[in-house]
Amino acid sequence: MIYWQLFFAFLQIGAFSFGGGYAAMPLIQSQVIDRYAWLSIEDFTALVTIAEMTPGPIAINAATFAGNQVAGIPGALAATVGVILPSCLLVTALAYLYNKYQKLALIQGILKSLRPAVVAMIFSAGLNILIPALFRSGSVSFAPGNFQPLMAAYFLGALLILRLKKKVNPIAVMAGCGAAQLIVQTVMRGG
Amino acid sequence: MAGSVPDVKGRAPGLPESRGAILKKLFFSTLYLSAFTFGGGYVIITLMKEKFVDELHWLDEDEMLDLVAIAQSSPGPIAVNGAIVLAYKLAGVPGILCSVVGAVLPPFVILTAVSFFYNAFRSNFVIQSLLSGMKAGVSAVIISVVLDMAGGIARSRDIILIGTMIAAFAANYFLGVNVICIILTAAGIGAARTILRERKKKKEETDGGERK
């Protein structure tokens, strides 16, 4: 049943996304795109963009969005309950243990070594968004019509601004890229 | 789940006597924070601290730091984890229900609306152009975050951590190894290292003791 599938897929996303924020991205990709094909990479990119521009954790945004797309509001509910259930159980258990033992060297050791794996997988998920944005066919090839120089220019421009100006708002950078593309497309359509 | 309410009395002078008042405040505070906070979990945690420590005085600063450590150590969204651990401390399991519903409600409503409009507007010229340009922007934001995080790991000069990072990337991106397998492997390496280090430390302590 679709509700159970949504619930279990997002239960796994909730249970294994350590480190908050972007850490959920590779898990969402592996369940929602690769395993069940509930969203296309195009939809997923739109979702990440929307999640970035609205308040709320990306995992809950993804659960609500994917659930709604696949099975309406009941689907969104099933996915959202799935994604927060592991948090409810594990945080409470950890809080209880923490009160009892204070220092949890083992958990800290595990988290320290999870961090590089999480960074690597966020990078991998980021490439899965970047490459289809720059190359129409979805794979790296500079054949005419495949490589999109405009997109590459937005990407490099945005990255440069983000790296050079430390306190810049990422939402503003993204909105700037969107506005630039809208202007270029309007001019091209008019001409 | 750890059932009983942790000892609340005698800890925080600002805490109201009535359970209902605490639950109501928890619900509306997390609802408000979740509805108006852009920028992810770490920002929400800071605002929670301002609200519950500095403004309401329901917790002291050290307790809050412990709660933040727990929220960050657990899987799942940090904002939700923060809401859970805070509520558990202040009002037990009923508190968790109130604060989780409060934290989840705003993104749920917003994304349900977005999902509806997304289907209606997907083929619209303006929306399509905006989204396609923002695709390049969001890629840049993610790559920039990765550069920051990877830089931090490279600076640790811990060969095993750096090796884990490279191996995890290769396994996931080129070989398509399942994300959960990679997380469990990395967790296993971390657990093994911690146990070995603790054992070594203990051995050194007893050796040092014998020499005296």
A123 interfacial to chain B (CB closer than 8 Å): yes
Residue A135's DSSP bridge partners are A147
Q: What angle do CA B139, A15, B89 make, to 5 degrees?
A: 110
Say what the pLDDT of residue A31 is. 94
- Element at A7 (helix H, strand E): helix A2-16
Return all residues near B21 (Cβ < 8 A) that are at least 6 apart.
Answer: none
How do residues A88-104 score in pLDDT, each as one tens digit? 999 988 888 876 766 66
Confidence class of residue A144 from pLDDT cuts 50, 70 and 90?
confident
CB contacts of B40 in chain A (<8 Å) are 20-21, 57-58
pTM for this one?
0.83
B138 to A49: CB separation less than 8 angstroms, yes or no:
yes
Cα–Cα dist B94/B203, whole Å: 46
Cα–Cα dist B137/B141, whole Å: 6
A50 interfacial to chain B (CB closer than 8 Å): yes
Residue A147's DSSP bridge partners are A135
Return all residues near A182 (Cβ < 8 A) that are at least 6 apart.
Answer: B126, B129, B130, B133
Cα–Cα dist B61/B54, whole Å: 8
Taken in order A138, A142, A147, A149, is the CA torsion positive or negative? positive
CB contacts of A122 in chain B (<8 Å) are 142, 145-146, 149
Which ranges of A102-169 does DSSP label H, i.e. alpha helix? Answer: 105-134, 149-164
Per-residue pLDDT of chain B (212 residues; tens, 9 = 90+): 344 444 444 455 567 768 888 999 999 999 988 888 776 666 777 788 888 888 888 888 888 888 888 888 889 988 899 899 999 888 888 999 999 999 999 999 999 999 999 888 888 899 889 988 998 999 999 999 899 889 999 999 999 999 999 999 999 999 999 899 999 999 999 999 999 998 898 888 887 655 54
Cα–Cα dist A14/A69, whole Å: 19
Mutate to test the interface with B, among A32, A45, A124, A136 (most CBs of B within 10 A): A124
Q: Which of residues 41-60 of B touch A (CB under 8 A)?
A: 41-42
Say what the pLDDT of residue A33 is. 93
Cα–Cα dist A122/B28, whole Å: 33
Between the CA of residue A18 and those of A117, A191, B43, B164, what are the distances in Å?
A: 10, 49, 17, 16
- In this predicted structure, the answer to whether residue A191 has a pLDDT above a threshold of 80 is no
- To the nearest whole Å, the CA of A106 is away from the closest chain B CA by 6
- To the nearest whole Å, the CA of A150 is away from the closest chain B CA by 9
Cα–Cα dist B117/B107, whole Å: 15
CB contacts of B138 in chain A (<8 Å) are 45, 48-49, 52, 129, 174
